[in-house]
Amino acid sequence: MSKYDYLIVGAGLFGSVFAREAKERGKSCLVIEKRNHTGGNIYCEDIEGIHVHKYGPHIFHTDIQKVWEYVGRFVKFNHFIYSPVANYKGELYNLPFNMNTFNKMWGVVTPEEAKAKIAEQIKQEGITEPKNLEEQAISLVGRDIYEKLIKGYTQKQWGRECKDLPAFIIKRLPVRFIYDNNYFNHPYQGIPIGGYNVLIDKLLEGTEVLTDTDYLSDKGKWDAMAERVIYTGPIDAYFGYSKGHLAYRSLRFETEVLDMENFQGCAGMNYTDRETPWTRITEHKHFEFGTQEKTVISKEYSIEWSPGQEPYYPVNDEKNQQLYEVYKEMALQEEKVFFGGRLAEYKYYDMDKVIAAALELAGKNLG
Ligand code: FAD
Ligand code: UDP
C-alpha cells in the first residue's frame, strides 16, 4: 500500500490546482518541487515591498467564466489592465495596434482613414495568402507598423528573421479600429491582490509540499510512495531525453532596484528597434498601483536555449512538434503517470488554460 494517493511533481499552477482538487475530494497528496519555492513561473519575489515577477510579467486574463470564478474563490483581483507602450528609438506608440497607434503613426483620426491607409499598404505589397510572420503582419497592419513595431521586436524575441517564422505567432495580438489600449480581448483581467503567491499558497493550503526536491534524481523512490503520479516537468526529461531534446526559447532578466519612485510610468515598455538589446522593461510596482519610495525594473533579454537553461517558450515548429508526438505516445504507456502543464504538454499555455486543463484532469481522475 502506497503512502499517498497522489504524488504531484511540480508546484506550479497546474500541480497546485490539481493538489487542491484532490485534497477537496479527500485524497492524500504529496507535492515535490525542484526549485526552492512554489508557484512555478508565476512566483513573485518580494523586493523593497514590491512583488517582482521573477520569471517574466504575468497578467491574468480569461474568457472562461468557470476559471474566473474558480480563482475568485481563493483571491481577489485588482482592476489592472495591461496597456504596454512600444518604444521605437524614443518614439512611443500604444499597443496593441489600435486607433491610438494608427493616429500616432499616420495622423489618421477616423477608423475609415486608418483602414484605407492599411489597405493601401497591403495593396502595394501584393500579398494574397500570407506565408510567414512578415507577410501576416503586413497584411494585418501595413508596412510602417511592421517596420517600426514588429520586425525588430520579433527578431529579438525569436532569434530568427520574420520571414522564417510561422504566421500564427502574430495573430494572437489584437488589431482594433477603436481607441482602446487594453492588450487583451478577454472580459476578465487583473492581478491577484497581494500577488500571485497568495493564490498558490491558498491552493496548496493543507497539502504537504517538499521544495528543493527533484523527482527525476530518485524517481523509483518517489514512485513507490504514491498510487498515481501527476507529472508537470518537461516531458523529454521524464524519458531521459532518449529521443532527443525538445527546443525552447529562453529568457534572461536583469533586475535592478532604482532609487526613484517611478521609472517609466507603466508596467510594460517594449523596445521594438533591433539595436536595443533587451526586448522589454517591466516595472513591477505598476501591476499593483504601488506607492513605494523605490522601484524595481527588469530588463528582459531573449536568448537561445541550450540544455540546462530554463525552458520558457516551446518552439512549436514542425520538427519539435513531431518529436513531442513521439514522447506523447511514450507517455500514454505510463499507466500510473499523468502528464500536464506547459512543460509536460510542450505547449504555450496561458494561466487560465492551465487551470482549465488541471480541472479537467482532476475531473476525469478524481471523479
Ligand atoms: P510551471 O509554472 O513551469 O510549473 C512546473 C513546475 O515543475 C516548476 O516549478 C518546475 O520547477 C517543476 N519541476 C520541473 N521538473 C521537476 C522535477 N523533475 N522535479 C520536481 N519539480 C519539477 N500566462 C498568462 O496567462 N498571462 C501572462 O501574462 C503570462 N505571461 C508569461 C510570460 C512569460 C515570460 C512566460 C514564459 C509565460 C507566461 N505565461 C502567462 C504563461 C504561464 O507562465 C503558464 O501558463 C504557467 O506558469 C504554467 O504553469 P505550469 O504549472 O504548467 O508550469
Ligand atoms: N510583437 C511585436 N511587437 C510588440 C509586441 C509583440 O512584434 O511590441 C509580436 C512578437 O512577434 C510576439 C507576438 O507579437 O512574439 C506575440 O506577442 P505577445 O505579447 O503575445 O508575446 P508573448 O511575450 O506573450 O509571447
* Percentage of the residues of the chain whose pLDDT score is greater than 70: 100
In the residue annotation, 350 being an active-site residue is answered as yes
Considering 5, 144, 223, 350, which one is annotated as catalytic?
350
Residue 300 bears catalytic tag: yes
The pLDDT value given to residue 171: 84
Evaluate the omega torsion of the peptide bond into residue 84 and state whether it is cis, within 30 degrees of 0. no
- pLDDT band with cut points at 50, 70 and 90 for residue 296: very high
Does residue 318 have a pLDDT over 90? Answer: no
Amino acid identity, position 171: K
Residue 316 pLDDT > 80:
no
Bridge pairing between strands 268-271 and 85-88: parallel
**Per-residue confidence (pLDDT) for residue 192, from 0 to 100:** 98
- Report residue 147 as a C-alpha cell: 517596420
Decide: helix, strand or coil at residue 196. Answer: helix
What are the start-end ranges of the H helices in 9-158?
A: 13-24, 65-72, 99-106, 111-125, 133-141, 143-145, 151-158
Tell me the backbone φ, ψ of residue 338, rounded to 5 degrees: -115, 135
pLDDT at 168: 86
CA distance 318 to 142: 28
pLDDT, average across residues 305-334: 92
> How many degrees, rounded to 5, is the angle at CA 253 between CA 200 and CA 149?
105
The single residue of 214, 249, 252, 301 carrying the catalytic annotation is 249
Pairing state of beta strands 208-210 and 268-271?
A: unpaired
Which residue's CA is minimally distant from atom 31 of ligand 1? 58
Q: Which ligand is nearest to the CA of 272?
A: 2
- pLDDT, mean of residues 281-302: 98
Ligand 1 within 6 A of CB of 40: yes
Judged by phi (left if over 0) then psi (alpha if -120 to 50, else beta), residue 14 lies in alpha
Which atom of ligand 2 is closest in space to residue 272's alpha carbon?
A: 8
Spatial distance between the Cα atoms of 21 and 23, rounded to a whole number of angstroms: 5
Residues with CB under 6 A from ligand 2: 86, 95, 149-150, 153-154, 157, 169-170, 172-173, 270, 272
Q: How confident is the model at residue 26 (pLDDT cuts 50, 70, 90)?
A: very high
Alpha carbon distance 210, 11 (integer Å): 9
Domain 4-79+187-244+314-366 CATH class label: alpha beta
Any idea which residue has 493601401 for its cell? Answer: 120
In the structure, what pLDDT confidence band is assigned to residue 292 with cuts at 50, 70 and 90? very high
pLDDT of residue 173: 84
Q: pLDDT, tens digit, for every residue of 200-245?
A: 999 999 999 999 999 999 999 999 999 999 999 999 999 999 999 9
Task: Tell me what pLDDT residue 40 has.
Answer: 98
CA distance 120 to 129: 17
308 or 324, which is more confident? 324
pLDDT at 270 over 90: yes
Active site residue 46: no
Q: Ligand 2 centre from 156 Cα, in Å?
A: 11
The catalytic residue among 21, 33, 300, 345 is 300
Q: Which ligand is nearest to the CA of 133?
A: 2
Domain ranges of the chain: 4-79+187-244+314-366, 96-170
323 Cα to the center of ligand 2, angstroms: 25
Please tell me the predicted confidence (pLDDT) of residue 315.
Answer: 86
- If you average pLDDT over residues 270-291, what whole number do you get? 98
Per-residue model confidence (pLDDT) at position 356? 98
Residue (of 150, 171, 172, 177) closest to 161 by Cα position:
150
Question: pLDDT tens-digit profile of 146-192?
Answer: 999 999 999 999 998 999 988 888 887 889 999 999 999 999 999 99
pLDDT at 169: 87
Q: Provide the 3-class DSSP secondary structure of residue 362.
A: helix
When mean pLDDT is compared across 1-10, 43-52, 167-176, 277-286, the lowest value belongs to 167-176
Average pLDDT over residues 135-153: 96
Supply the pLDDT for residue 91: 98
Q: What percent of the chain has pLDDT over 90?
A: 89
Q: What's the CA gap between 131 and 135, in Å, rounded?
A: 6
In b/e form, how buried is each residue of 55-68, taking b as 16+ CB within 10 angstroms?
A: bebbbbbbebeebb
Distance 145 CA to ligand 2 centre (A): 13
pTM, rounded to two decimals = 0.96
Write down the catalytic residue from 63, 172, 205, 241. Answer: 172
Instruction: Say if residue 307's pLDDT is above 90.
Output: no
Examine the pLDDT at 2 and tell me if it is beyond 90.
no
103: Cβ contacts below 8 Å, ≥ 6 apart? 109, 114
Alpha carbons within 13 A on the beta-carbon side of 16 = 26
Residue 59 CA to residue 53 CA, distance in Å, equals 10
Instruction: State which of 104, 153, 171 you would mutate to test the pocket of ligand 2, scoring each by most atoms of that ligand within 8 A of its C-beta.
Output: 153
Among this protein's residues, is 317 annotated catalytic? no
Separation CA 63–CA 267 (nearest Å): 22
Q: Higher model confidence: residue 167 or residue 199?
A: 199
Q: What is the number of alpha carbons within 13 Å of residue 211 lying toward its C-beta?
A: 9
Give nearest CA residue, ligand 1 atom 46. 351
Q: What is the mean pLDDT of the chain?
A: 96
